[in-house]
A and B are shown apart, each in its own frame.
Chain A
Amino acid sequence: MNSSVINVTKINQRVTVIIEEMPWISYLTLGFVFETGSRDEDETINGITHFIEHMTFKGAEGKTAYDIARILENLGAFVNGYTSKEEMAIYGSFLKEKFSDVFSIIISMFKKRKYDEKDFNLEKKVILQEISEIFDEPEELLSEFFLKEMFPQNSLGLPVAGSLSSIENLTKSALETQLIHNWSNKRICISIAGNIESSDALRCIANYVDNFAHEDYQKHWSTPVRISDGFIKVIKRNDLKQIYGIIGSYTISFNDPRRYVLAILNHVVGASRSSRLVSLLQEEKALVSYISSFYELYSDIGIWGIFFITNSDSLGDVLRFITEELKKLKNFGITKREMDKAVSYRKGLTALSSEDSSLRMRHNARNFLKMGVVPTLKDILNEYDKLTVDKVNAELDILNIDNWCGVIMGPIDDTQLVDISIYKPIKEFQFLLDTDKVLKKHVVSKTIY
């Protein structure tokens, strides 16, 4: 198996270059990953990081957005961005001959610190539409609700793209101030994975070192307070044909060494077709059209959960089976057999994904920013080999099963609410809103043309 070498070069206190050479593919992925995200925001400026990501494409010294797009695409590069709770990145995939060209163009995009009023207002319209699209995606919408309820009063619960009102109210000067702050005070990881020689890449990057100021970086995230008793909140929407639900709890943070245990437990519970929940609820009983477990780990906390799509008739049964399965897991743990297949699967998947340069680019940057180290494929496989079923079962507490919370959305009637409350007393009936109230509250139906 190819186990590549990962080269970590510190440029200064803030900026680090990570290069994973993958000579067996024909291209590479370059990413500038900033340690900043929607977690750095409060409600009034919610969405500003994501807005900055958009504005990064608005041109460079003497060049318009259109010029930049043309230059990059003429180089055969597809350059894009993403923003999450804790990261903002600009990245692209292209052939290695184009490395220095693409690198210098992205740097020139970052250098732009003042935006045109017109560009700013146009992009605001675009982002308002981007946010509005989420209201037609039940899965996305529910995930936002879930996070909001899990992290009340904390910036982790804020949506990455912001809300319609926060974006409406955002000013150009607030954006420019934040931009300068991000560029000079946040850690940056230049993550490269693919067909390139480290020495070539570093030589090219050396020409731009002056652009990376030395200022100290800051991180001021406040760790969310965990809600002590679980909840189920219901959103009534009669326009939907199906019922969407998430049930989950808090778990470990990203840098917790037990994340390999979490990966195994997650796999056994609901992350594969052979998992307990998928095989029982989807394949055996056909009660759900979709079910899957997931986890999302942040610097200081994590959440894990089960996402499902079902219909009115089956909701009660689905909740019953899920709670039964969770109880079973808590009391008896997983079996040796389940453990073995989960380990083989995770190892296989990890090895297969090691051929994907854009995944490697992201993983390496994230590992570095959150843990300070970048494990190689071999390191990760070793971690899985060290696990035993006893070790995994000794850590079941990381799932906080007794304290699960839930959000459910869809055509739910009052008799079903009784059903639901069997599994968790519904404390907050005031959250029982109909479609119009939920959506109108968030969607400002104002003409922006």
Chain B
Amino acid sequence: MGNNEIIFVELSSKFSVIIERMPELPSGALVILFKQGSRNELPQQAGITNLLLGLLFRQTTKKTFIEIQEYIDSLGAELDSFVAKEISGIYSRYLVDRFNEVWSLTEEIIFYPKFTEEEFTKEKKLAEKEIISEEDDPEEYLFNVFYKNLFPNHPLSNRIIGDMDSITQLVLDEVRNYYSNCLLYAPICVSITGNIDPDFVLKLAEQMKNLLSNLFGLINHNDTTQKDTPTFKPLSNFVNVKKKGVQQSYTVIGWYTCPYQSEYYFPVIFANTILGGCTSSRLYYEVREKRGLAYSISSFTDFYSDIGILGVYFITQPDLAEAVTEIVLEQTHKLRLQGISKDEFDLARNYVKSQTLIRTDNPLARALRNARNKLLINRIPTVSEIINEIENVSLIRVNEAIGELSANQLIVRVEPSER
């Protein structure tokens, strides 16, 4: 899609608005993003952000849960919330002629919630059910153990949905406090894509900012909170969990890499593409194509504001897990020693460029990316700027990024208890 102009206005030090027109599209997207996620939670309140966002949809001063949902349906729109480790938000997709209604409803959900004991209890019960449900899913279970060991005793390892202890102990007052003192206190970005008059949106955003200050007295954000930059200790563990009922073996291997905002960001993405990010990657070839040892094998990246992860995930028959682990370690060792070749580099560039264009070619993905960039790197590159960044990556940089991976890795495996 064409290179649309991005309009960016900071209405206060904590409240900003981004508008990207995308005039060709019949639909639009609205995202209200908070720089507040599960890593900002205290250990005893793990899961509170997720629970709070669920609660916001349960009742407003004007509507019940069912009235909210019926209204969303009648608008023919999608409207929901999500929580990640460093951000959370409310997002929607709609046909542009429904923008006004979607905006008002979003505003009502965020600023006029009605917190009642009854709804709080229901939301808690659902959260508890969700926590239990992860037990039946070996993949979710594996990644929980992985993050717990990757960031021990650090809030980055918090599960987004929380754990049984933290959720059971939560009381409504705590959630109410967290809402005004944490969620709404955090930097907020309103991000809109679609064919909407920017002046009109700016006026609405100004009103929203005033609402925030009238209701909560919050206009500015003084970032005085202690940064919790983890001390990332060398990784050298192997964690093996036996689980009843599981038939296959699930393994994840991870290395520390650069954070979200880093000159190595795209180089790491290139390295990931070549290691296990596509079907011509080294691991796909060595493990699946050449040896038929697994159906699911791929590598992934995961970036945060102060650290990143490059990881490999695979599912195998229990008796093959060790052999595949060895191949992965051998391949990453080779990657570290020799780097990637010029041919591989060219492929990674073409692939990453094209897939970046394809993946962000929808209004919701675009609105989310703009808001996330604002809150996490304080910069909102346009599509062509991003493509430029990808084109400017050099082979040397990719191999430097590979050299910067942590020397040791963490291996976590979940496998059947009886073998």
Q: Spell out A's residues near B (CB within 8 Å).
A: 1-2, 23-27, 57, 65-66, 69-70, 72-78, 93-95, 121-127, 129-130, 132-133, 135-138, 237, 239-242, 267, 272-274, 279, 282-284, 286, 288-290, 309, 311, 340-342, 344-349, 351-352, 354-356, 435, 439, 443, 447-449
Contact = CB atoms under 8 A, between A and B. Distances in A.
A2 B95 CA distance: 11
B263 interface: no
Given A126-B292, A279-B65, A449-B323, A25 B1 contact: yes
Nearest to B319: A447
A138 B93 CA distance: 31
B1 to A, nearest CB: 4
A26 B279 contact: no
A130 B133 CA distance: 23
B316 interface: yes
23 contacts: A1-B95, A26-B1, A26-B358, A26-B361, A69-B284, A73-B279, A76-B350, A93-B358, A122-B292, A125-B293, A126-B288, A135-B247, A239-B245, A241-B132, A274-B66, A279-B65, A283-B58, A289-B126, A344-B76, A351-B26, A352-B95, A443-B247, A449-B323
A349 B354 CA distance: 27
Nearest to B138: A136
Given A24-B25, A241-B132, A289-B133, A76 B355 contact: yes
Contact of A74 (B94, B132, B320, B350): B350
B294 interface: yes
Contacts of B137: 137
Given A26-B361, A132-B247, A284-B122, A125 B354 contact: no
A70 B78 contact: no
Contact of A70 (B73, B130, B280, B320): B280
Nearest to B383: A26
B147 interface: no
Contact of B26 (A1, A127, A274, A284): A1
Interface of B: 1, 24-27, 58, 65-66, 69-70, 72-78, 93-95, 98, 122, 125-126, 129-130, 132-133, 135-138, 244-248, 278-280, 284-285, 288-296, 315-317, 319-320, 323, 346-347, 350-351, 353-355, 357-358, 361-362
Contact of B245 (A74, A95, A237): A237
A274 B1 contact: no
Contacts of B246: 136, 239
A348 B75 contact: yes
B278 A66 contact: no
A290 B129 CA distance: 9
Contacts of A121: 292
A27 B137 CA distance: 35
Contact of B136 (A65, A72, A242, A435): A242
Given A2-B26, A352-B93, A286 B122 contact: yes
Contact of A73 (B132, B291, B347): B347
A72 B66 CA distance: 48
A309 B133 contact: yes
A342 B73 CA distance: 7
Contacts of B296: 129-130, 133
Contacts of A282: 126
A129 B26 CA distance: 43
A133 B295 contact: yes
A284 to B, nearest CB: 7
Contact of A242 (B25, B26, B132): B132
B221 to A, nearest CB: 32
B316 A129 contact: yes
Contacts of B285: 66, 69
Max chain A Cβ within 10 angstroms of own Cβ: one of B58, B73, B288, B294: B73
A448 B323 CA distance: 13
Contact of B350 (A27, A73, A123, A352): A73
A18 B70 CA distance: 37
A239 B246 CA distance: 8
Given A94-B358, A341-B73, 8 more contacts: A76-B355, A124-B292, A272-B69, A279-B66, A284-B122, A286-B122, A352-B94, A449-B323
Contacts of B138: 136
A101 to B, nearest CB: 12
A27 to B, nearest CB: 5
Contacts of B357: 26-27, 95
A137 B132 CA distance: 15
A340 B76 CA distance: 11
Nearest to A129: B295
Given A25-B361, A239-B245, A311-B132, A122 B73 contact: no
Contacts of A344: 73-76
Contacts of B351: 73-74, 76
A226 B355 CA distance: 45
A2 B25 CA distance: 8
B244 A69 contact: no
B315 A129 contact: yes
A136 B140 CA distance: 12
B65 A94 contact: no
Nearest to A347: B76
A57 to B, nearest CB: 8
B95 A27 contact: no
Contacts of B72: 273-274
Contact of A126 (B25, B98, B294, B319): B294
A272 B73 contact: yes
B156 to A, nearest CB: 26
Contacts of B247: 132, 135-136, 439, 443
B352 to A, nearest CB: 9
Contacts of A23: 24
Nearest to A286: B125
Contacts of A70: 280, 347
Contact of A448 (B122, B317, B347, B358): B317
Contacts of A66: 280, 285, 289
A289 B130 CA distance: 6
Max chain B Cβ within 10 angstroms of own Cβ: one of A126, A346, A347, A435: A126
Nearest to A340: B74
Max chain B Cβ within 10 angstroms of own Cβ: one of A282, A288, A348: A348
A406 to B, nearest CB: 19
A240 B69 contact: no
A65 B289 CA distance: 8
Max chain A Cβ within 10 angstroms of own Cβ: one of B136, B288, B296, B347: B136
Please list the 6 inter-chain residue pairs (A to B) with the smallest Cβ-Cβ separation, ordered nearest first: A348-B76, A76-B354, A239-B245, A125-B292, A274-B69, A289-B129
Contacts of B291: 122
A244 to B, nearest CB: 8
Contact of B293 (A95, A274, A345, A449): A449
B73 A274 contact: yes
A449 B249 CA distance: 15
